[in-house]
Amino acid sequence: MNDADSPPASSPDPLGRLEPAARAYLDLLRRCLTREAFLDQEWWDVRLDDWPGGRDAVQPVLAEHGWRLVRRGDPAARDEGRDWPPTAETMVGSKRLDCALRCCIDAVLDDVPGDFIETGVWRGGVTILMRGVLAALGDEERNVWVADSFEGLPVPDPERYPADAGLDWSDVGVLKVGADQVRANFERYGLLDDRVRFLEGWFCDTLPDAPVEQLAVLRLDGDLYQSTMDALVALEPKVSRGGFVVVDDYGGWASCRAAVDDYRAERGITDPIEAVDWTGVVWRKT
């Protein structure tokens, strides 16, 4: 690894080290995955409870005509990854996606050994981008691991993990995306093959014995203390020297931040944490 060739993971141009064709492909891929490229065609359902006069005032009219009440997306919210987009394959915003891109590109170009993984993939967008990096750079060795329950967040266990108290999001339907849907999303981009490896189930069951040998990029996006800690304990020791640990929810979820801080303190990890945006962080393992 040559540090002089390797700018920080949140450097403004994550594609700066690439040849033009790879750069154009990955730029298009990232803008498709977020829908930034055609945000004008992305329509959000309006919460009917927000309608003046309430849901009852508008629902009968919609039902009578078979209408939906929709609004345009907010480009700033999409850019910052503060929304739940209707069709985009990732809810992650542009800076965090660029950080993932930069880490994967640097890992390949700097010969950092190991696979890429995201724990908490939702519709799979970040892992699709990871596989796209391998395709663009002609890497024929690494795997991309896709770890999720594929049924949303777990019911929290505040007795064991007090930081997760009050964070029961297990019923939130939009977070439940099945593995078949994620495979279909990979296929949409022509990126599903046997180097895309699915780890289906709760992290506490799938990650400790997962056949992952070595990692160059570990991306955590499980929101809760338990989900973050389970992933760190099982996978952070497998991150190679020069590899990256990327955390999506550090600023946005106190539960996640507590898990990261606890884990780093327990293991004596002092690699500096770099802020990516309002919530994401990254550190590079020395």
Ligand X SMILES: C[S@@+](CC[C@H](N)C(=O)[O-])C[C@H]1O[C@@H](n2cnc3c(N)ncnc32)[C@H](O)[C@@H]1O
Q: By the criterion CB under 6 A, which residues form the site for ligand X?
A: 90-92, 118, 120-122, 125-126, 148-149, 152-154, 175, 202-203, 221-224, 227
What burial class does residue 273 get, using C-beta atoms within 10 Å of its C-beta: 0-12 exposed, 13-18 middle, 19+ buried? Answer: middle
Residue reference for tokens 């919530």: 279
Residue type, 117: I
CB atoms within 10 A of CB 235: 22
The distance of closest approach from Cβ of residue 195 to ligand X in the complex, given in angstroms and rounded to an integer, is 19
Helix (H, G, I), strand (E, B) or coil at 22: helix
**Bridge partner residues of 200 (DSSP):** 148
Between 230 and 242, name the residue whose CB sits nearer to ligand X: 230
Output 17 or 123, the one with its CB closest to ligand X.
123
Q: How far is the CB of 149 from ligand X (least distance, A)?
A: 4
Per the DSSP assignment, residues forming a β-bridge with 197 are: 145
User: Residue 285's closest CA among 275, 273, 159, 277?
Assistant: 273
In the complex, least distance from residue 67 CB atom to ligand X, rounded to whole angstroms: 29
CA distances from 54 to 50, 64, 69, 172 (A): 6, 17, 13, 22
Instruction: Residue 37: count other Cβ atoms within 10 Å of its Cβ.
Output: 14
Query: Which residue is nearest to ligand X, using beta carbons?
Result: 120
CB of 146 to ligand X, least distance (A): 10
Q: How far is the CB of 16 from ligand X (least distance, A)?
A: 23
Closest CB 184 distance from ligand X, rounded Å: 15
User: Is the Cβ of residue 58 or residue 88 nearer to ligand X in the bound state?
Assistant: 88
Shortest Cβ 26–ligand X spacing (Å): 16
**Would you say 85 or 242 has its CB closer to ligand X?**
85
167 token code pair: 């964070």
Sequence-ordered strand ranges (E) for the chain: 43-45, 70-72, 115-119, 144-148, 196-200, 215-220, 239-247, 274-275, 281-284
Q: 62 or 204, CB closer to ligand X?
A: 204
Residue with smaller CB distance to ligand X, 90 or 143: 90
Which residue number, 110 or 200, has a Cβ lying nearer to ligand X?
Answer: 200
